[in-house]
């Protein structure tokens, strides 16, 4: 008897997934444990594996489809067995090269039609690049079979439409040839300025005035979590100003040894872990009918990815050295951007840190990630004039803002935590060993 293959819940928060690619095709022999398909969840790209052996008799949904958890994907059985069809609605992709005339929207996620002008349109314009300017290296041309769909991230599709870049002419550098942000930037840089302007103008004048972009699974989850957080959680904010002069000197001295490297954010993660050990009410979850104070300290570090934001978790951060934290954060961030994190690598945080200092942001408030009771927002380190011993001097300063769930963390509790954290950052020697 034929066996159903269904969309599995591959992460704790997954409600639906986008079928990125089939790894087995109809008629292929399948053994238990074989990878059948790659699925983009709300956090990462993961694998659907066969739970039984046989022959892949039928694929029920095409690549690019968004499928709810438990929906039918395929049938496995003996050759010649009859099978049924899908039970329930599946959001499938539009045929390649098609778009709605009124909305210019692909019927499905970003792996389908491209809305950018064709290369022939772009090429009709007269190049405006000065003769003296060196020509950028050409972007490698794509080699696709006739009718093969173009794989591109949502951000890449938006950038291509804005800049008049033909996705079909680009060879993607992402996983499985997927076109990503840097591919669009390189293609735009290799296109004469006049051609890009002409292509964009033509698209604006002759086509629809806007493009609707389907939400990725990650963006849907982010939206849902924000509604859950901002609405019901009674949040208050505490901000403090930290002198980072000694932290800067300590970091420079350690980097000069050549024995590993770490960032200021790694230092903040390490200091926060030590401060949480002294303030257990901040290292806690709201559980509706109780507060759960965690004995272990697992810190989520916010990482920006193409589709949104994800928080890989540094487990037992209070037990790790700065160098260990720095190495782990870089490895986790790299896999996060490639959507290759395992669920246990982005779940279970007891506290989170979000840093926008690298974008030139002085101060901001971060949204609590429930059920966590608090999150730390980190701004940039900037030289500022301050009064020290009656004299005005220039010191490196940092602003930290703690978002607190008032059901768990009182004002005095949050303030005490920030005071401890600031003291550690201003006297960091105890953290570097």
Q: Are residues 160 and 303 in the same domain?
A: no
Same domain assignment for residues 282 and 358: yes
We report the CATH number of the domain holding residue 267 as 3.30.559.10
User: Which residues share a beta bridge with 372?
Assistant: 285
CA-based nearest residue to 219, from 42, 354, 370: 42
> Is 406 considered catalytic here?
yes
Instruction: Indicate whether 219 belongs to any domain.
Output: no
What is the chain's pLDDT, residue by residue, as a tens digit (433 residues)? Answer: 788 899 888 877 788 888 888 998 888 898 988 888 988 887 678 888 888 888 988 888 898 888 888 888 888 988 878 776 544 444 444 434 333 333 343 444 444 333 343 333 333 443 444 444 444 444 555 555 555 667 777 677 777 777 778 777 788 877 777 788 788 888 877 765 545 444 444 444 566 766 777 777 777 777 776 676 667 889 999 999 999 999 999 888 888 877 667 789 999 999 999 999 999 999 999 998 899 999 999 999 999 888 788 899 999 999 998 889 999 999 999 999 888 888 889 999 999 999 999 999 999 999 999 999 999 999 999 999 998 889 999 999 999 999 999 999 999 999 999 999 999 999 987 675 5
Residue in 25, 279, 316, 406 annotated catalytic: 406
Task: Write down which residue in 152, 171, 206 finishes a domain.
Answer: 206
Q: Is residue 225 part of a domain?
A: no
For residue 112, being part of any structural domain is answered with no
Q: What is the pLDDT of residue 191?
A: 61
**CATH number where 36 lies:** 2.40.50.100
Q: How many domains does the chain have?
A: 3
- Asked whether residue 123 falls in the same domain as residue 39, the answer is no
Residue 111 lies in a domain: no
Judgement on whether residues 409 and 280 belong to the same structural domain of the protein? yes
Identify whether residues 307 and 400 lie together within a single domain. Answer: yes
Q: Which residues pair with 40 in a beta bridge?
A: 18, 45
- Are 262 and 169 in the same domain? no
Residue 17's domain comprises 3-77
Which residues lie closer than 8 Å to 65 by C-beta, 6 or more apart? 18, 19, 90, 91, 92, 93, 108
Within 10 angstroms of residue 27's Cβ, the number of other Cβ atoms is 10
∠ CA 389-392-398, nearest 5°, is 95
Has residue 342 been placed in a domain?
A: yes
Please tell me whether residues 373 and 323 are part of one structural domain. Answer: yes
**Rounded to two decimals, what is the model's pTM?**
0.57
Residue at 196 is within a domain: yes
* Maximal CA-CA distance, the chain: 89
Res 206: pLDDT: 61
Residue of 298, 272, 233 lying closest to 400 (CA atoms): 272
Both 129 and 269 in a single domain? no
Q: Tell me, what's the pLDDT at 188?
A: 77
C-alpha distances out from residue 144 to 116, 164, 171, 183, 207, Å: 18, 20, 9, 16, 27
Query: Does some domain include residue 90?
Result: no
Residue 270 sits in the same domain as residue 394: yes
Residues 6+ away with beta carbon under 8 Å from 359 = 380
**Whether residue 301 sits in one domain with residue 181:** no
Q: Assess whether 369 and 413 both reside in one domain.
A: yes
Q: Out of 51, 77, 103, pick the residue that ends a domain.
A: 77
Co-location of 35 and 123 in the same domain:
no
**Considering the domain boundaries, does residue 105 fall inside one?**
no
Distance (Å, rounded) from C-alpha 384 to C-alpha 134? 41
The three-state secondary structure class of 56 is: strand
């Amino acid at each position: 008897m034929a066996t159903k293959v269904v969309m599995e819940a591959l992460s704790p928060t997954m409600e639906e997934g986008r079928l990125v690619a089939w790894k087995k095709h109809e008629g292929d022999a399948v053994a238990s444990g074989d990878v059948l398909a790659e699925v983009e969840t709300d956090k990462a790209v993961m694998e659907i594996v066969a739970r039984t052996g046989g022959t892949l008799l039928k694929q029920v949904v095409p690549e690019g489809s968004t499928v709810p958890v438990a929906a039918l994907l395929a049938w496995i059985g003996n050759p010649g067995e009859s099978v049924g069809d899908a039970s329930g609605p599946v959001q499938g992709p539009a045929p390649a090269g098609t778009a709605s005339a009124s909305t210019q929207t692909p019927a499905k996620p970003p792996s389908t039609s491209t809305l950018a002008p064709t290369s022939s349109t772009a090429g009709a314009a007269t190049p405006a690049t000065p003769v003296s300017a060196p020509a950028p290296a050409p972007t490698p041309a794509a080699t696709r079979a006739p009718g093969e769909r173009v794989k591109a991230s949502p951000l890449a599709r938006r950038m291509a439409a804005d800049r008049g870049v033909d996705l079909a002419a680009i060879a993607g550098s992402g996983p499985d040839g997927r076109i990503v942000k840097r591919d669009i930037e390189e293609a735009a840089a290799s296109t004469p300025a006049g051609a890009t302007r002409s292509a964009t103008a033509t698209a604006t004048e002759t086509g629809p005035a806007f493009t609707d972009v389907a939400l990725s699974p990650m963006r849907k989850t982010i939206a849902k979590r924000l509604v859950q957080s901002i609405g019901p959680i009674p949040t208050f904010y505490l901000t403090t100003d930290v002198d980072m002069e000694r932290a800067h000197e300590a970091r420079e001295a350690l980097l000069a040894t050549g024995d590993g490297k770490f960032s200021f954010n790694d230092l903040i993660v390490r200091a926060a872990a030590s401060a949480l050990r002294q303030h257990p009410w901040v290292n806690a979850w709201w559980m509706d009918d109780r507060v759960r104070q965690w004995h272990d300290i697992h810190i989520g570090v916010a990482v920006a990815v193409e589709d949104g934001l994800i928080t890989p978790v540094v487990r037992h951060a209070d037990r790790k050295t700065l160098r260990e934290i720095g190495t782990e954060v870089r490895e986790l961030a790299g896999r996060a951007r490639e959507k290759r994190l395992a669920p246990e690598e982005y779940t279970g945080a007891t506290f989170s840190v979000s840093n926008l200092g690298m974008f030139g942001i002085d101060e901001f408030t971060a949204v609590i990630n429930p059920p966590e009771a608090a999150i730390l927002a980190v701004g940039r380190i900037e030289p500022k004039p301050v009064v020290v011993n009656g004299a005005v001097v220039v010191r490196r300063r940092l602003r930290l803002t703690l978002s607190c769930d008032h059901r768990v963390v009182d004002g005095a509790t949050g303030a005490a935590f920030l005071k401890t954290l600031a003291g550690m950052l201003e006297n960091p020697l105890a953290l570097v060993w």
